[in-house]
Amino acid sequence: MQQQIDAVLLDMDGTILNSIKSAERVWTTWALRNGIDVESFLPTIHGIQAVETIRRLALPGMDPVAEAAALTLAEIDDVAGIEPIAGAANFLAALSPYRWAVVTSAPRELATRRIQAAGLPLPPLMITAEDVPNSKPAPDGFQLAAEKLGTTAGKCLVLEDSPAGILAGERAGSQVLVITATHHKKMENNYPAITDYNDLNFATDANGALEIRGVGNDSHIHFVLK
């Protein structure tokens, strides 16, 4: 079924680029220094702000804001191995005449560094951790991006990879398409999912709209971006 959309809102980590190696190197060092079991801890760091990850641990005598700031600096310094999700560059190039944004839980400086390290273009609009009071799974980031693009989140397509991001898109009332390139386990949700952007076909129709088609999870994907 064809669905009309006004804009495309993309998460960053795990959605347009893969920064797992870089992030997990930094967080592993931090976890070991603080006596935290690395194997059980690392799966919890993705898709939410670093300060929220640290707050949830409730470590005695630790200032989550200061720790998150130090971690961010370490992540900015370590971008080795960051690479684009397959087909992401072509997809972003196709979006460039239209309304689109990156919505991430990362701080702006880190997001900019990672996008550049992946060799991807900086988006025309980027909503980062500094821009909203509540991070994913709250819908604030997607709602603000839609507002700045002159529409509402309910008329946008959200591309996400993490449970927190998917829930944020759902709460925003957006259409959601899941990218599974960095996930080894199947996530339980009701949204269409593709491995990467090579699973999509996109082309401009006679009216100048961008048609985005594909097949994911046995469901047909057909969005039209004016």
Residues 107 and 193 occupy one common structural domain: yes
Using a pLDDT cut of 70, give the percent of the chain over it: 97
State the residue range of the domain holding 143. Answer: 3-19+81-225
Instruction: Given the residues 13, 78, 196, 199, select the one marked as catalytic.
Output: 13
- Is there a single domain that holds both residue 117 and residue 160? yes
140 is catalytic: no
Tell me if residue 161 is catalytic.
no
- The pLDDT of residue 73 is 95
pTM: 0.90
pLDDT, residue 39, reads 94
pLDDT of 184 above 90: no
83 pairs with which residues across the strands?
18
Number of domains in the chain: 2
Cα–Cα distance measured from residue 220 to residue 32, given in angstroms and rounded to the nearest whole number: 45
- Supply the CATH number for residue 212's domain: 3.40.50.1000
Residue 136 DSSP symbol:
T
Q: What angle do CA 99, 211, 206 make, to 5 degrees?
A: 100
% the chain with pLDDT above 90 = 89
Annotated catalytic residue, options 11, 78, 161, 196: 11
> Which of 43, 77, 111 is the C-terminal boundary of a domain?
77
The string of pLDDT tens digits covering residues 54-77 is 999 999 999 999 999 999 999 999
Q: Are 154 and 180 found together in one domain?
A: yes
| pLDDT tens column, 152-166 | 999 999 999 999 999
